């Protein structure tokens, strides 16, 4: 690696500026060199997944790898986050790249030879643990990018900050974590990047293709819990009850008017009820019912409007039934991920150079949520999708036991992100 770097410097000094002007061939070469080892790391990560705020072994693996590259490494950020600096040999701006590391409480049901067998207790229930959203791919790709860019350090114009984030899926109840805590603990300081990039494996796109959105990319995610209290009675004597189950059913139906009658037809939004709990026996009308759900929007003012309508609907429905309603919690989760307009336009040519113009597509915003938004609210951000499906195969959706991200997506991600970073630094120097 040092011999290659020295040779590259010599070429530059003697007037041969090929690599400095167009780094593509060097990036392709280094990506090919590092892909076998990075693929093995991906397998190791997949076999040993760790839940949010529990990524101790994952973080140790990441930190050890980065230290061996000679990077300046900081650990313990937002519990198990890792931040590393690569200082290029030429002056230039600072850019950040972010990957998430945590897995999900999902029992894997794939035929992968490196499938997870890990089990744990999550919120009082025994469950498997699985990288069912591709975070093992994200972490592996970013380690590969660190390797590629380190090999090009002598001619790299600027500084790259690698952010490996825990708890993207959300910390356990009662704990802090994720991107918001990393920002709070200074992950974007000393030095502060001028832009940040991120990627996510995409279960609807084949390997070799890239998708992006200009402007809104992923929605905000609010969560709520509501309790409806009535009066318990025998199932044969409903007239003696105030039935919280019937009231809850009316509440569920009325909630749908938030999207259909409160939002404009041009305003994206989703209102979902995820759980309903109430009752102990078939012939007992219970005293109370608890419901939880999520509301997805792209603008803060729509989130505020949705919350106000939920509260008003709960009040109206329960008063009409003679019951009482309480919003136990209404929590703003990650805000919407909004790709910076100019940064997006500047980045798309790099994506097209990496995989070919025909394999880059503009895709509609998704109602999934990503706490990359906390970083992108601080500095301009660009977040894109990495195709993960091996041609001729199928995969389960994100967060399901049959989710499969193919190894073939790894070199595509390494090459694309590396070129994106180098192009950005070269343009902004």
DSSP code per residue over 185-239: TTTT-SSPPSEEEEEEEEEEEETT-EEE-SEEEE-EEEEEEEEEE-B-EETT-GG
Token reading at 383? 């977040």
Catalytic residue among 102, 108, 222, 243: 102
- Residues 168, 346, 406, 423: which is the catalytic one? 168
**In which element (H, E) is residue 417 found?**
helix 409-428
Let me know: does 235 contact 134? Beta carbons within 8 Å: no
Helix pair angle (24-47, 56-68), 10° resolution? 150
Residue 377 phi/psi, 5-degree rounding, is -80, -15
Contact assessment for residue 382 and residue 370, using Cβ atoms and an 8 Å cutoff: no
Residues 387/409, Cβ–Cβ less than 8 Å = yes
Q: Is position 22 annotated as part of the catalytic site? A: no
Distance CA 33, CA 388 (A): 21
Counting Cβ atoms within 10 Å, is residue 117 exposed (0-12), middle (13-18) or buried (19+)?
Answer: exposed
CA angle 134/213/31 to nearest 5° reads: 50
Alpha carbon of residue 64 to chain centroid: 23
- The SS3 assignment for 275 reads strand
Cβ atoms of 258 and 271 within 8 Å: the answer is yes
- Exposed, middle or buried: residue 326 (CB in 10 Å: 0-12, 13-18, 19+)? middle
Query: Which residue in the block uniquely carries the two structure tokens 């693996």?
Result: 61
DSSP state of 266: T
DSSP 115: -
Instruction: Tell me if residue 100 is catalytic.
Output: no
SS3 290: strand
List of residues 6+ apart from 290 with CB closer than 8 A: 225, 226, 227, 228, 275, 276, 277, 278, 328
Residue carrying structure tokens 């230039």: 92
Catalytic residues: 102, 168
């Amino acid at each position: 690696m040092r011999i290659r770097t020295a040779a590259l410097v010599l070429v530059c000094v003697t007037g041969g500026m090929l690599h400095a002007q167009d780094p593509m061939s060097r990036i392709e070469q280094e990506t090919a060199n590092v892909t076998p080892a990075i693929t093995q790391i991906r397998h190791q990560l997949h076999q040993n997944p760790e839940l949010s705020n529990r990524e101790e072994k994952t973080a140790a693996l990441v930190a050890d790898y980065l230290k061996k590259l000679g990077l300046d490494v900081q650990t313990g950020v937002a519990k198990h986050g890792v931040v590393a600096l690569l200082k290029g040999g030429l002056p230039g701006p600072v850019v950040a790249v972010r990957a998430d590391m945590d897995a999900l409480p999902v029992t894997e049901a794939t035929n992968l030879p490196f499938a997870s067998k890990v089990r744990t207790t999550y919120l009082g229930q025994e469950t498997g643990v699985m990288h069912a959203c591709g975070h093992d791919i994200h972490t592996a790709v970013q380690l590969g990018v660190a390797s590629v860019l380190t090999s090009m350090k002598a001619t790299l114009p600027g500084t790259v900050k690698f952010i490996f984030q825990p708890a993207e899926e959300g910390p356990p109840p009662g704990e802090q974590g994720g991107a918001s805590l990393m920002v709070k603990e200074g992950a974007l300081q000393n030095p502060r990047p001028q832009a940040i990039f991120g990627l996510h494996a995409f279960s609807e796109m084949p390997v070799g293709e890239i998708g992006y959105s200009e402007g809104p990319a992923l929605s905000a995610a609010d969560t709520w819990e509501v309790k409806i209290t009535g009066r318990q009675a025998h199932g044969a004597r409903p007239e003696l009850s105030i039935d919280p189950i019937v009231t809850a059913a009316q509440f569920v139906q009325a909630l749908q008017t938030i999207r259909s009658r409160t939002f404009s037809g041009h305003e994206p939004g989703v209102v979902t009820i995820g759980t309903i709990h109430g009752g102990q026996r078939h012939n007992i009308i219970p005293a109370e019912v608890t419901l939880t759900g999520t509301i997805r929007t792209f603008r803060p003012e729509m989130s505020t409007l949705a919350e106000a309508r939920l509260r008003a609907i709960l009040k109206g429905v329960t008063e009409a039934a003679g019951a009482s309603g309480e919003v136990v919690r209404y929590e703003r989760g990650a805000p919407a991920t909004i790709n910076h307009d100019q940064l997006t336009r500047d980045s798309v040519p790099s994506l097209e150079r990496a995989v070919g113009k025909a394999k880059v597509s503009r895709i509609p915003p998704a109602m999934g949520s990503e706490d990359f938004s906390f970083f992108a609210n601080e500095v301009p951000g660009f977040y894109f999708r990495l195709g993960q499906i091996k041609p001729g195969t199928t995969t389960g959706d994100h967060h399901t036991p049959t989710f499969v991200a193919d190894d073939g997506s790894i070199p595509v991600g390494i090459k694309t992100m590396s070129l994106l970073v180098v192009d950005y630094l070269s343009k902004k120097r």
